[in-house]
Amino acid sequence: MFELRQKLHRLATGKTRNALNFFVGFACQRLSQFAILPLVVSQLDAASFSRFGLMTSVLQLAPSLLTFRVHTSVGRLIFDTTLYDRRKLIATCFLGGLAPAFFLVFVYCSLIFLGGVDDPLSAKSTLIALSIGTLILSRIVVEFASTLFRSDGNSKRFMHISLVDGALYGCLGALALTCENPNFIGLVLAISIAGFISSMFCMFLLRKDVFSFWPEKSILADCFRYSWPTAVHGVGLWFSTQSTRWVGVSIIGLEGMASFSFVLLIASAVGLVSRIVFELSRPTAGKAFACGDVEEGKRILSKSQFYSMLVVIICFSVIILAYYIFENYLEMQFRITSSMFMLVFLYLLVDSWSLKITNLLLGMKFSKSLMFSSLPSGLVALCLTPPLCIWYQEYGLCLSLFVSAFVQAVLALILWRRVSTIVVS
């Protein structure tokens, strides 16, 4: 009896320690951007702040667009231990995703250098283009390492990566914003250096796996078949949310977009926190789906859905309270109205609720179904955003954000019901 108690105690202690490591890692990695947000708001002018928002939107889109999410397919395929050699799968996912991204980033920087591209983010600056390119590649490397270690349940290495990544981003970003004459170029350069160091640290931890084999064609083909629909899904979601920034800039201008950029950065931070709950359940849910225990996977994700929505409510309530306490310290361009807050809050609730269906479809390898919910919602956003922005300015952008998220959630629910009917039959 005593030995049984000791075993149970060790098991409980191990699970608690792993959960704590994952939570600390997620919190540090995902909230570093939110931690420097007060400095970004106070030190940058309205136009530079809007450019910072454009940069974050690019960093959300680029990994999906440049790699077709091949580098994150390891998060699901790693559980299929009878189908793939582990080290070959890891090397294939890593190199198969990073190589095309590196080439396309090189093309983009070359076009900026030659003056062939002019966009509101780089403004024809080769230094900014190189910094953005470095950030994109570093995000791919860090995403791969984080996905691998959390899927493996290796909480210590995941926490180490997250602490390094989050601390460097926060510290170097804060340093750039507190120096004399802070500006957008200095901030981008600082966080690109942080990203480069983080990616080097990840590659050091992965050196025995990612450089052991060349990508294997058959494995790469399986990775691509699984991942490309998730990439299209990610692009569709990007158009549902982040395209509002670019449409708003074209209609309102950089300075007029400060308040919407502010509230959308807040929404992004809260959305990342709500996803922590689902990421914590990834190892157990992934193993359940890999073993064919769909009901157990659904139970785990239903529990995650409840806690995720609860996290959204708590975090957003705290943020609104803090905002109204410090509102008088903000310049008028950064002021957020109550209506904007309400629409963004509803958007976050809908987004958090739909995460369960997204993870169900991914866990059961019905990744193609995701496209049929995200692409129509992205199209809705593209059609709604321009007229709503013209008529209602920043409020119209928030309204478009909520409507497109609602459409995506409803379509995802319809698709899941059809898929679940097929599985049962």
Please report, for residues 91, 105, 114, 284, the alpha-carbon distance to residue 215 in angstroms, rounded to integers and kept in the order given.
6, 20, 33, 28
Q: What is the pLDDT at residue 30? A: 65
Please report, for residues 74, 302, 412, the alpha-carbon distance to residue 290 in angstroms, rounded to integers and kept in the order given.
13, 18, 22
DSSP string for residues in 184-245: HHHHHHHHHHHHHHHHHHHHHHHHHHHTSSPPPHHHHHHHHHHHHHHHHHHHHHHHHHTHHH
More confident residue, 180 or 376: 376
CA neighbor of 136 nearest in space, from 103, 174, 163, 92? 103
Domain ranges of the chain: 1-227, 242-420
* pLDDT winner (highest mean) among 56-60, 162-166, 406-410: 406-410
Compute the average pLDDT of residues 237-257.
85
Q: What is the pLDDT at residue 131? A: 92
Compute the average pLDDT of residues 206-226.
81
Share of residues in the chain with pLDDT > 70 (%): 91
Amino acid letter, residue 397: L
Does residue 358 contact residue 278 with C-beta atoms inside 8 Å? no
Q: What is the mean pLDDT of the chain?
A: 84
Does residue 219 contact residue 92 with C-beta atoms inside 8 Å? yes
- Count Cβ atoms below 10 Å from residue 234 Cβ, excluding itself: 21
CA angle (79, 75, 12) in 5-degree steps:
70
Task: Report the number of secondary-structure helices (H) and strands (E) in the chain.
Answer: 16, 0
Q: What is the pLDDT at residue 422? A: 60
pLDDT in tens, 106-121: 998 888 888 777 777 7
Q: Which backbone phi and psi does 215 adopt, to 5 degrees?
A: -55, 135
Compute the average pLDDT of residues 130-153.
89
Compute the average pLDDT of residues 325-334.
84
